[in-house]
Amino acid sequence: MCHDIDSSPPVPAVTGAAIRAHRLTLNASDGNEFLAYEAFADTPSDTAVVVLPDVRGLYHFYEELAVRLAEAGHDAIAIDYFGRTAGLTARDDSFPYTEHVPLVTYDGLKADVAAAVARLRETNPGRRVFTVGFCFGGSNSWHQAANGHGLAGVIGFYGRPDGARPVGAKPPLEMVDQMACPVLALMGGDDPGITPDVVARFDQALTKAGVPHEVVVYPGAPHSFFDRKYEEFSNESADAWRRVLNFIAGSG
């Protein structure tokens, strides 16, 4: 299970941060128009982040996460997956995401991420850009390390190392030789859909390929543990957020 529509990131707001944020439409190289949400740090930053949602697409959780990243000093853009099949309609609780996820393609998402990266580099071509994703987006984030975006690093929360989604993708496990930047994987130790042996194989494959990486498993934590609703895993969530910020600060 991914995050619920009313979930929110377990990251406290920064009091007094002067954040600017709004929705916008981005255009990919194939002509696709898709929803995005961008948030700007209150001072210029040489780092920025593309946020890749779970299967529900762009909704409140990821917009708020973009704001939390901006409060931490990193401009951020959260993107939607479904412009090609669902247009620019809202991704609320009535959106039939299960009908659209199978229609997302690897090449289409690669083009969408490229558009988001270009947006983040419009005024700073040398900026260090990262991706961070969750569940479906976790795997999508790892994929971007092999997609020629010139990223400084990729972060995935509970992605599937052995999953071949979206359409046309190879499992991240089979793409490690193409990954051109550091990788951070943050996994739930009690995730029935992503077994410990698969996580260990991903770790070993990254090591063998010489990709700088860190794979962190939180014992007892479920899939989608990074959620304010999971108060019993607040320490794990706090540690994961700390690792995200440290990874962004130290990579590249």
Whichever domain contains 123, its CATH number is 3.40.50.1820
Q: What is the pLDDT of residues 112-169, one digit of tens each?
A: 999 999 999 998 999 999 999 999 999 999 999 999 999 999 999 999 999 999 999 9
Nearest of 161, 163, 162, 158 to residue 225 by alpha carbon: 158
pLDDT at residue 2 is higher than 90: no
- Taking the C-alpha atoms of residue 209 and residue 162, their distance in angstroms, rounded to an integer, is 16
CA 250 and chain centroid, separation: 18
- Structural domain includes residue 14: no
- Structural domain includes residue 102: yes
pLDDT at residue 53 is higher than 90: yes
Q: Residue 218's CB: how many other CB atoms inside 10 A?
A: 21
Cis peptide bond prior to 166, omega within 30° of 0 = yes
- Taking the C-alpha atoms of residue 77 and residue 36, their distance in angstroms, rounded to an integer, is 6
- Domain residues for 194? 20-250
- Structural domain includes residue 13: no
3-state SS, residue 181: coil
- Taking the C-alpha atoms of residue 151 and residue 49, their distance in angstroms, rounded to an integer, is 10
- Structural domain includes residue 3: no
- Structural domain includes residue 213: yes
Q: Give me the sheet containing 47-52, strands edge to edge.
A: 20-27, 33-40, 75-79, 47-52, 128-134, 153-157, 183-188, 213-218
Q: C-alpha distances in angstroms, 195 versus 66, 109, 163, 201?
A: 29, 26, 12, 10
Q: With contact defined as beta carbons under 8 Å apart, do 40 and 19 qualify?
A: yes
- Structural domain includes residue 4: no
- Structural domain includes residue 152: yes
Which residues share a beta bridge with 216? 186
pLDDT mean over 85-114: 96
pLDDT at 19: 77
- Taking the C-alpha atoms of residue 43 and residue 17, their distance in angstroms, rounded to an integer, is 10
Report the residue count for the chain.
252
Domain count across the chain? 1
- Structural domain includes residue 56: yes
Which residues share a beta bridge with 230? none
pLDDT at residue 203 is higher than 80: yes
Nearest of 64, 38, 57, 139 to residue 98 by alpha carbon: 57
Rg of the chain (C-alpha set): 16
**Which of 2-16, 25-39, 133-147 has the least mean pLDDT?**
2-16
